[in-house]
Structure 1
Amino acid sequence: MRRVLIVTEGEVTEVEYFEALKSLLKLVSVDLNICGKECDSSPTAVVRYALQRADAEGAHDKGGYNDVYCVFDRDTHADFEKALSQILTANKPKSLFKGETITAVPSYPCFEVWLLMHFVDSRAPFAAANGKTVAQVVEAELKKHSPFENFAKSLTKEMVEALQANTDNAIERAEKVMRDAEKTGELNPSTEVHLLVKALYDLQRK
Protein backbone atom coordinates (compact mmCIF):
# COMPACT_ATOMS: atom_id res chain seq x y z
CA MET A 1 0.00 0.00 0.00
CA ARG A 2 1.34 3.40 -0.98
CA ARG A 3 1.44 5.90 1.87
CA VAL A 4 0.92 9.61 1.23
CA LEU A 5 1.16 12.55 3.63
CA ILE A 6 -0.20 16.02 2.87
CA VAL A 7 0.73 18.79 5.31
CA THR A 8 -0.99 22.14 4.76
CA GLU A 9 -0.32 25.63 6.04
CA GLY A 10 -4.03 26.36 6.35
CA GLU A 11 -5.96 24.72 9.15
CA VAL A 12 -9.40 24.73 7.53
CA THR A 13 -9.85 25.36 3.80
CA GLU A 14 -6.99 23.20 2.55
CA VAL A 15 -7.73 20.36 4.96
CA GLU A 16 -11.42 20.31 4.06
CA TYR A 17 -10.59 20.46 0.35
CA PHE A 18 -8.24 17.48 0.43
CA GLU A 19 -10.44 15.49 2.80
CA ALA A 20 -13.32 15.96 0.34
CA LEU A 21 -11.09 14.86 -2.52
CA LYS A 22 -9.96 11.85 -0.53
CA SER A 23 -13.60 10.89 0.02
CA LEU A 24 -14.43 11.40 -3.65
CA LEU A 25 -11.55 9.31 -4.98
CA LYS A 26 -12.01 6.43 -2.51
CA LEU A 27 -8.31 5.56 -2.58
CA VAL A 28 -8.69 2.05 -1.19
CA SER A 29 -5.11 1.06 -2.02
CA VAL A 30 -3.58 4.25 -0.62
CA ASP A 31 -3.02 5.34 2.98
CA LEU A 32 -3.60 9.11 2.64
CA ASN A 33 -3.06 11.33 5.69
CA ILE A 34 -3.91 15.04 5.71
CA CYS A 35 -2.59 17.38 8.41
CA GLY A 36 -3.18 21.09 8.88
CA LYS A 37 -3.67 21.85 12.56
CA GLU A 38 -0.56 20.12 13.82
CA CYS A 39 1.96 22.82 12.91
CA ASP A 40 2.30 26.58 12.87
CA SER A 41 1.08 28.42 9.76
CA SER A 42 4.38 29.21 8.08
CA PRO A 43 6.13 27.45 5.18
CA THR A 44 9.12 26.29 7.24
CA ALA A 45 6.82 25.04 10.00
CA VAL A 46 4.95 22.96 7.42
CA VAL A 47 8.19 21.49 6.10
CA ARG A 48 9.55 20.88 9.59
CA TYR A 49 6.42 19.00 10.65
CA ALA A 50 6.40 16.98 7.42
CA LEU A 51 10.02 15.93 7.96
CA GLN A 52 9.37 15.05 11.61
CA ARG A 53 6.28 13.02 10.70
CA ALA A 54 8.14 11.14 7.96
CA ASP A 55 11.02 10.45 10.34
CA ALA A 56 8.63 9.11 12.98
CA GLU A 57 7.00 6.74 10.46
CA GLY A 58 10.34 5.32 9.36
CA ALA A 59 11.89 4.49 6.00
CA HIS A 60 9.51 4.39 3.05
CA ASP A 61 10.71 0.93 2.04
CA LYS A 62 9.82 -0.33 5.51
CA GLY A 63 6.27 0.98 5.81
CA GLY A 64 6.90 4.72 6.07
CA TYR A 65 5.55 7.42 3.77
CA ASN A 66 6.27 7.21 0.07
CA ASP A 67 5.09 10.68 -0.94
CA VAL A 68 5.07 13.77 1.26
CA TYR A 69 3.49 17.03 0.06
CA CYS A 70 3.90 20.44 1.71
CA VAL A 71 1.11 22.83 0.77
CA PHE A 72 1.83 26.47 1.60
CA ASP A 73 1.33 30.03 0.36
CA ARG A 74 3.76 32.60 -0.94
CA ASP A 75 1.71 35.39 0.67
CA THR A 76 4.17 37.64 2.56
CA HIS A 77 6.07 34.85 4.33
CA ALA A 78 9.70 35.77 4.95
CA ASP A 79 10.62 32.08 5.18
CA PHE A 80 9.03 31.00 1.88
CA GLU A 81 12.29 30.58 -0.04
CA LYS A 82 13.89 28.87 2.93
CA ALA A 83 11.10 26.29 2.95
CA LEU A 84 11.62 25.58 -0.75
CA SER A 85 15.35 25.19 -0.10
CA GLN A 86 14.73 22.78 2.77
CA ILE A 87 12.64 20.58 0.49
CA LEU A 88 15.34 20.57 -2.18
CA THR A 89 17.88 19.53 0.44
CA ALA A 90 15.63 16.77 1.77
CA ASN A 91 15.34 15.27 -1.72
CA LYS A 92 19.11 15.02 -2.16
CA PRO A 93 20.81 11.63 -1.91
CA LYS A 94 22.03 10.74 1.58
CA SER A 95 19.69 13.25 3.23
CA LEU A 96 18.02 12.26 6.49
CA PHE A 97 14.54 12.38 4.91
CA LYS A 98 13.00 8.91 5.20
CA GLY A 99 10.21 9.31 2.66
CA GLU A 100 10.53 8.46 -1.02
CA THR A 101 9.82 12.00 -2.26
CA ILE A 102 8.91 15.31 -0.62
CA THR A 103 7.28 17.95 -2.81
CA ALA A 104 6.52 21.63 -2.34
CA VAL A 105 3.02 22.66 -3.44
CA PRO A 106 3.12 26.47 -3.40
CA SER A 107 0.42 28.95 -4.34
CA TYR A 108 1.03 32.56 -5.32
CA PRO A 109 -0.21 34.42 -3.37
CA CYS A 110 -2.47 31.87 -1.62
CA PHE A 111 -4.40 28.59 -1.86
CA GLU A 112 -7.65 30.39 -2.72
CA VAL A 113 -6.16 31.12 -6.15
CA TRP A 114 -6.63 27.41 -6.86
CA LEU A 115 -10.27 27.61 -5.83
CA LEU A 116 -10.76 30.70 -7.99
CA MET A 117 -9.38 28.84 -11.01
CA HIS A 118 -12.42 26.58 -10.89
CA PHE A 119 -14.49 29.53 -12.08
CA VAL A 120 -12.33 32.05 -13.94
CA ASP A 121 -9.19 32.36 -16.04
CA SER A 122 -7.13 35.38 -14.98
CA ARG A 123 -3.51 36.48 -14.83
CA ALA A 124 -4.09 39.85 -13.19
CA PRO A 125 -1.72 40.03 -10.17
CA PHE A 126 -3.16 40.26 -6.67
CA ALA A 127 -1.91 42.81 -4.14
CA ALA A 128 -2.98 44.11 -0.75
CA ALA A 129 -5.29 47.11 -1.13
CA ASN A 130 -7.84 49.24 0.73
CA GLY A 131 -6.90 47.80 4.10
CA LYS A 132 -7.21 44.19 2.89
CA THR A 133 -4.38 41.67 2.89
CA VAL A 134 -3.54 40.04 -0.41
CA ALA A 135 -5.29 36.85 0.74
CA GLN A 136 -8.42 38.83 1.57
CA VAL A 137 -8.32 40.40 -1.90
CA VAL A 138 -8.25 36.92 -3.47
CA GLU A 139 -11.11 35.79 -1.22
CA ALA A 140 -13.14 38.82 -2.31
CA GLU A 141 -12.74 37.72 -5.93
CA LEU A 142 -13.73 34.17 -5.02
CA LYS A 143 -16.90 35.44 -3.35
CA LYS A 144 -18.09 36.78 -6.70
CA HIS A 145 -18.77 33.21 -7.79
CA SER A 146 -21.65 31.01 -6.64
CA PRO A 147 -21.83 29.28 -4.18
CA PHE A 148 -18.88 31.10 -2.55
CA GLU A 149 -20.72 34.35 -1.79
CA ASN A 150 -20.44 33.72 1.97
CA PHE A 151 -17.11 31.94 1.95
CA ALA A 152 -15.33 32.22 5.31
CA LYS A 153 -12.56 29.62 5.10
CA SER A 154 -14.79 26.60 5.72
CA LEU A 155 -16.15 24.76 2.69
CA THR A 156 -19.86 23.90 2.59
CA LYS A 157 -21.22 20.83 0.80
CA GLU A 158 -22.38 23.07 -2.06
CA MET A 159 -18.93 24.62 -2.39
CA VAL A 160 -17.23 21.22 -2.49
CA GLU A 161 -19.66 19.99 -5.14
CA ALA A 162 -19.05 23.09 -7.27
CA LEU A 163 -15.30 22.65 -7.02
CA GLN A 164 -15.40 18.97 -7.87
CA ALA A 165 -17.66 19.64 -10.86
CA ASN A 166 -15.10 22.08 -12.24
CA THR A 167 -11.84 20.30 -11.39
CA ASP A 168 -10.95 19.56 -15.01
CA ASN A 169 -11.40 23.22 -15.94
CA ALA A 170 -9.29 24.30 -12.96
CA ILE A 171 -6.47 21.95 -13.93
CA GLU A 172 -6.54 23.22 -17.50
CA ARG A 173 -6.42 26.83 -16.31
CA ALA A 174 -3.64 26.13 -13.81
CA GLU A 175 -1.54 24.45 -16.50
CA LYS A 176 -2.08 27.40 -18.83
CA VAL A 177 -1.13 29.83 -16.07
CA MET A 178 1.99 27.85 -15.22
CA ARG A 179 3.15 27.99 -18.84
CA ASP A 180 2.63 31.74 -18.87
CA ALA A 181 4.36 32.15 -15.50
CA GLU A 182 7.40 30.24 -16.78
CA LYS A 183 7.45 32.43 -19.89
CA THR A 184 7.01 35.79 -18.16
CA GLY A 185 8.55 35.09 -14.76
CA GLU A 186 5.38 36.42 -13.06
CA LEU A 187 4.11 33.85 -10.57
CA ASN A 188 1.30 35.99 -9.13
CA PRO A 189 -1.25 34.49 -9.49
CA SER A 190 -0.40 30.84 -10.00
CA THR A 191 -0.46 27.58 -8.09
CA GLU A 192 0.93 24.07 -8.19
CA VAL A 193 -2.00 22.50 -6.35
CA HIS A 194 -3.23 21.02 -9.62
CA LEU A 195 -0.08 18.86 -9.76
CA LEU A 196 -0.97 17.32 -6.40
CA VAL A 197 -4.61 16.86 -7.46
CA LYS A 198 -3.48 15.11 -10.65
CA ALA A 199 -1.11 12.90 -8.63
CA LEU A 200 -4.01 11.80 -6.40
CA TYR A 201 -6.17 11.05 -9.42
CA ASP A 202 -3.31 8.98 -10.85
CA LEU A 203 -3.21 6.94 -7.63
CA GLN A 204 -6.91 6.24 -8.05
CA ARG A 205 -6.23 4.66 -11.45
CA LYS A 206 -3.50 2.32 -10.16
Structure 2
Amino acid sequence: MSPQTSKSTKISTETNLKGGKKGTKEERSTFLILCEGKTEKDYFTGMRSRRGPQIDVDVPKGDHLAKVREAVDRVSSDYDAVWCILDTELDGELTAEMTREAGKSGRVRLGLSTPCFELWLILHHADCARPFQSADAAKKKLKKIVPSWSEKNTRFSDFSAGVGAACDRAQKLSPDGRNPLKNPSTNVWELVSGIREKQGAGRQK
Protein backbone atom coordinates (compact mmCIF):
# COMPACT_ATOMS: atom_id res chain seq x y z
CA MET A 1 0.00 0.00 0.00
CA SER A 2 1.28 3.43 -0.88
CA PRO A 3 2.24 5.63 2.05
CA GLN A 4 -0.19 8.40 2.80
CA THR A 5 0.87 11.61 1.19
CA SER A 6 0.76 14.95 2.95
CA LYS A 7 -2.00 17.25 1.69
CA SER A 8 -3.69 20.38 2.91
CA THR A 9 -6.98 20.02 1.05
CA LYS A 10 -10.30 19.12 2.65
CA ILE A 11 -12.54 16.24 1.65
CA SER A 12 -16.15 15.23 2.06
CA THR A 13 -17.38 12.08 3.77
CA GLU A 14 -19.45 11.36 0.64
CA THR A 15 -18.23 8.97 -2.04
CA ASN A 16 -16.72 10.69 -5.05
CA LEU A 17 -15.83 7.94 -7.52
CA LYS A 18 -14.52 10.30 -10.15
CA GLY A 19 -11.85 11.64 -7.83
CA GLY A 20 -11.36 15.19 -6.64
CA LYS A 21 -11.36 15.80 -2.89
CA LYS A 22 -13.64 18.51 -1.67
CA GLY A 23 -15.80 19.39 1.30
CA THR A 24 -15.45 20.61 4.82
CA LYS A 25 -14.36 17.53 6.80
CA GLU A 26 -10.83 17.03 8.04
CA GLU A 27 -8.94 15.00 5.49
CA ARG A 28 -8.78 11.22 5.88
CA SER A 29 -6.99 8.41 4.10
CA THR A 30 -8.80 7.33 0.94
CA PHE A 31 -9.28 3.87 -0.53
CA LEU A 32 -10.64 3.20 -4.02
CA ILE A 33 -11.98 -0.34 -4.24
CA LEU A 34 -13.16 -1.72 -7.56
CA CYS A 35 -15.16 -4.91 -7.14
CA GLU A 36 -16.27 -7.84 -9.23
CA GLY A 37 -19.88 -7.72 -8.12
CA LYS A 38 -22.59 -6.64 -5.69
CA THR A 39 -21.50 -8.97 -2.87
CA GLU A 40 -18.09 -7.35 -2.63
CA LYS A 41 -19.52 -3.87 -3.02
CA ASP A 42 -22.04 -4.38 -0.20
CA TYR A 43 -19.33 -5.72 2.10
CA PHE A 44 -16.88 -2.85 1.63
CA THR A 45 -19.59 -0.20 1.64
CA GLY A 46 -20.57 -1.62 5.02
CA MET A 47 -17.05 -1.01 6.32
CA ARG A 48 -17.42 2.75 6.06
CA SER A 49 -17.36 4.61 9.36
CA ARG A 50 -17.58 8.22 10.43
CA ARG A 51 -14.02 8.39 11.75
CA GLY A 52 -12.46 5.83 9.43
CA PRO A 53 -10.91 6.31 6.01
CA GLN A 54 -12.93 7.40 3.02
CA ILE A 55 -13.88 4.24 1.10
CA ASP A 56 -14.98 4.70 -2.51
CA VAL A 57 -16.48 1.49 -3.92
CA ASP A 58 -17.44 0.78 -7.51
CA VAL A 59 -18.30 -2.18 -9.75
CA PRO A 60 -16.89 -1.43 -13.23
CA LYS A 61 -18.43 -3.02 -16.28
CA GLY A 62 -16.60 -5.75 -18.14
CA ASP A 63 -14.68 -8.90 -17.35
CA HIS A 64 -11.87 -9.43 -14.87
CA LEU A 65 -9.20 -7.83 -17.03
CA ALA A 66 -11.40 -4.85 -17.88
CA LYS A 67 -11.86 -4.18 -14.17
CA VAL A 68 -8.12 -4.33 -13.52
CA ARG A 69 -7.45 -1.97 -16.44
CA GLU A 70 -9.99 0.49 -15.09
CA ALA A 71 -8.28 0.35 -11.71
CA VAL A 72 -4.99 1.20 -13.42
CA ASP A 73 -6.65 4.09 -15.26
CA ARG A 74 -8.11 5.48 -12.05
CA VAL A 75 -4.90 5.61 -10.07
CA SER A 76 -4.34 9.20 -8.98
CA SER A 77 -3.10 11.33 -6.13
CA ASP A 78 -6.70 11.48 -4.92
CA TYR A 79 -6.34 7.94 -3.56
CA ASP A 80 -3.88 6.62 -1.03
CA ALA A 81 -4.62 3.04 -2.10
CA VAL A 82 -6.32 1.47 -5.12
CA TRP A 83 -7.52 -2.12 -4.90
CA CYS A 84 -9.28 -4.47 -7.30
CA ILE A 85 -11.20 -7.31 -5.61
CA LEU A 86 -11.59 -10.33 -7.87
CA ASP A 87 -12.07 -14.10 -7.93
CA THR A 88 -9.35 -16.25 -9.47
CA GLU A 89 -11.99 -18.66 -10.83
CA LEU A 90 -9.33 -21.37 -10.25
CA ASP A 91 -7.86 -20.15 -13.56
CA GLY A 92 -4.07 -19.85 -13.57
CA GLU A 93 -3.82 -18.08 -16.92
CA LEU A 94 -6.44 -15.50 -15.95
CA THR A 95 -4.76 -14.88 -12.60
CA ALA A 96 -1.39 -14.34 -14.30
CA GLU A 97 -2.94 -11.87 -16.77
CA MET A 98 -4.64 -9.91 -13.99
CA THR A 99 -1.36 -9.70 -12.10
CA ARG A 100 0.48 -8.43 -15.18
CA GLU A 101 -2.15 -5.76 -15.86
CA ALA A 102 -2.13 -4.55 -12.27
CA GLY A 103 1.66 -4.36 -12.33
CA LYS A 104 1.60 -1.79 -15.12
CA SER A 105 0.76 0.98 -12.66
CA GLY A 106 2.83 -0.11 -9.71
CA ARG A 107 0.04 1.12 -7.42
CA VAL A 108 -2.91 -1.20 -8.01
CA ARG A 109 -3.24 -4.00 -5.48
CA LEU A 110 -5.21 -7.14 -6.25
CA GLY A 111 -7.40 -8.75 -3.61
CA LEU A 112 -7.73 -12.26 -5.02
CA SER A 113 -9.82 -15.07 -3.58
CA THR A 114 -9.71 -18.73 -4.59
CA PRO A 115 -12.14 -19.86 -5.63
CA CYS A 116 -14.22 -16.74 -4.88
CA PHE A 117 -14.89 -13.85 -2.49
CA GLU A 118 -17.41 -15.94 -0.59
CA LEU A 119 -14.46 -17.80 0.95
CA TRP A 120 -13.49 -14.53 2.66
CA LEU A 121 -17.01 -14.28 4.08
CA ILE A 122 -16.93 -17.89 5.29
CA LEU A 123 -13.74 -17.19 7.24
CA HIS A 124 -15.60 -14.65 9.38
CA HIS A 125 -17.51 -17.56 10.92
CA ALA A 126 -15.43 -20.71 10.54
CA ASP A 127 -12.12 -22.27 9.64
CA CYS A 128 -12.07 -23.50 6.06
CA ALA A 129 -9.12 -25.49 4.74
CA ARG A 130 -10.76 -28.05 2.46
CA PRO A 131 -10.44 -27.21 -1.28
CA PHE A 132 -13.56 -26.20 -3.20
CA GLN A 133 -14.40 -27.75 -6.54
CA SER A 134 -16.07 -24.54 -7.70
CA ALA A 135 -17.21 -21.09 -6.68
CA ASP A 136 -20.76 -22.42 -6.40
CA ALA A 137 -19.59 -24.91 -3.78
CA ALA A 138 -18.17 -22.08 -1.68
CA LYS A 139 -21.40 -20.11 -2.00
CA LYS A 140 -23.45 -23.10 -0.86
CA LYS A 141 -21.22 -23.48 2.19
CA LEU A 142 -21.60 -19.81 3.04
CA LYS A 143 -25.38 -20.08 2.71
CA LYS A 144 -25.40 -22.94 5.23
CA ILE A 145 -23.37 -20.88 7.70
CA VAL A 146 -25.29 -17.62 7.16
CA PRO A 147 -28.82 -18.58 5.97
CA SER A 148 -29.81 -14.93 5.49
CA TRP A 149 -26.98 -14.36 3.00
CA SER A 150 -27.55 -14.23 -0.76
CA GLU A 151 -25.68 -12.71 -3.67
CA LYS A 152 -28.35 -10.02 -3.77
CA ASN A 153 -28.20 -9.35 -0.03
CA THR A 154 -24.82 -9.15 1.71
CA ARG A 155 -25.05 -7.31 5.02
CA PHE A 156 -21.79 -6.32 6.66
CA SER A 157 -23.51 -6.64 10.03
CA ASP A 158 -23.65 -10.42 9.46
CA PHE A 159 -19.85 -10.48 9.33
CA SER A 160 -18.58 -7.51 11.33
CA ALA A 161 -18.01 -9.43 14.57
CA GLY A 162 -15.72 -11.90 12.81
CA VAL A 163 -13.47 -9.56 10.81
CA GLY A 164 -10.45 -10.06 13.05
CA ALA A 165 -10.90 -13.84 13.03
CA ALA A 166 -11.23 -13.82 9.23
CA CYS A 167 -7.92 -11.98 8.91
CA ASP A 168 -6.21 -14.53 11.16
CA ARG A 169 -7.72 -17.50 9.34
CA ALA A 170 -6.84 -16.12 5.91
CA GLN A 171 -3.21 -15.61 6.93
CA LYS A 172 -3.01 -19.20 8.18
CA LEU A 173 -4.34 -20.52 4.88
CA SER A 174 -1.54 -18.84 2.94
CA PRO A 175 1.19 -17.54 5.29
CA ASP A 176 3.56 -16.33 2.55
CA GLY A 177 0.83 -15.17 0.14
CA ARG A 178 2.88 -16.21 -2.86
CA ASN A 179 0.35 -18.51 -4.49
CA PRO A 180 -3.02 -16.82 -5.11
CA LEU A 181 -4.31 -20.07 -6.64
CA LYS A 182 -3.89 -22.07 -3.44
CA ASN A 183 -7.31 -23.58 -2.87
CA PRO A 184 -8.74 -22.17 -0.66
CA SER A 185 -6.98 -18.86 -0.06
CA THR A 186 -7.55 -15.11 -0.10
CA ASN A 187 -5.41 -12.03 0.48
CA VAL A 188 -8.41 -9.73 0.99
CA TRP A 189 -7.33 -9.62 4.63
CA GLU A 190 -4.50 -7.26 3.61
CA LEU A 191 -6.94 -4.61 2.42
CA VAL A 192 -9.29 -5.13 5.35
CA SER A 193 -6.42 -4.88 7.84
CA GLY A 194 -5.33 -1.63 6.22
CA ILE A 195 -8.82 -0.18 6.54
CA ARG A 196 -9.13 -1.29 10.15
CA GLU A 197 -5.78 0.24 10.98
CA LYS A 198 -6.94 3.59 9.63
CA GLN A 199 -10.23 3.26 11.47
CA GLY A 200 -8.31 2.76 14.70
CA ALA A 201 -6.21 5.84 13.99
CA GLY A 202 -9.39 7.84 13.43
CA ARG A 203 -10.84 6.77 16.78
CA GLN A 204 -7.67 7.89 18.56
CA LYS A 205 -7.95 11.47 17.28
- Which runs of 5 or more residues in structure 1 are unaligned? 92-100, 128-133
Alignment of structure 1 residues 181-192 onto 2, 5 Å:
187-192=182-187
Cα shift readout 1:57-99 (whole Å, capped 9, x = no counterpart): xx41xxx2221001000015553311111112321xxxxxxxx
Which residue of structure 2 aligns with residue 130 of structure 1?
none
Which residue of structure 2 aligns with residue 14 of structure 1?
40
Match of 1:31 among 54, 65, 71: 54
Which residue of structure 1 aligns with residue 81 of structure 2?
67
Counterpart of 1:13, as a letter, is: T
Tell me the TM-score normalised to structure 1 length: 0.75
Query: In 2, Cα distance between the equivalents of 1:178 and 1:110?
Result: 15
- Which runs of 5 or more residues in structure 2 are unaligned? 1-26
- Answer yes or no: is the 8 Å Cα contact 1:43–1:80 preserved in 2: no
Alignment of structure 1 residues 1-206 onto 2, 5 Å:
1=27, 2-10=29-37, 12-22=38-48, 25-27=49-51, 30-36=53-59, 38-40=60-62, 42-54=63-75, 59-60=76-77, 64-76=78-90, 79-91=94-106, 101-127=107-133, 134-145=134-145, 148-155=146-153, 157=155, 160-179=156-175, 187-206=182-201
1:186 positional shift? 6.4
Tell me the TM-score normalised to structure 2 length: 0.76
Cα shift readout 1:119-148 (whole Å, capped 9, x = no counterpart): 211211111xxxxxx111111111121xx2
Report the number of matched residues: 173
Q: SS of the counterpart of 2:85?
A: strand
Query: In 2, Cα distance between the equivalents of 1:35 and 1:48?
Result: 14
Counterpart of 1:179, as a letter, is: P
Please state which structure has a larger fraction of its residues in helix.
1
- Answer yes or no: is the 8 Å Cα contact 1:44–1:83 preserved in 2: yes
Counterpart of 1:115, as a letter, is: L
1:39 positional shift? 1.9
Runs of 4 or more, structure 1, over 4 Å off, are: none
- Answer yes or no: is the 8 Å Cα contact 1:39–1:49 preserved in 2: no
Which residue of structure 2 aligns with residue 98 of structure 1?
none
Instruction: Output the aligned Cα RMSD.
Output: 2.2
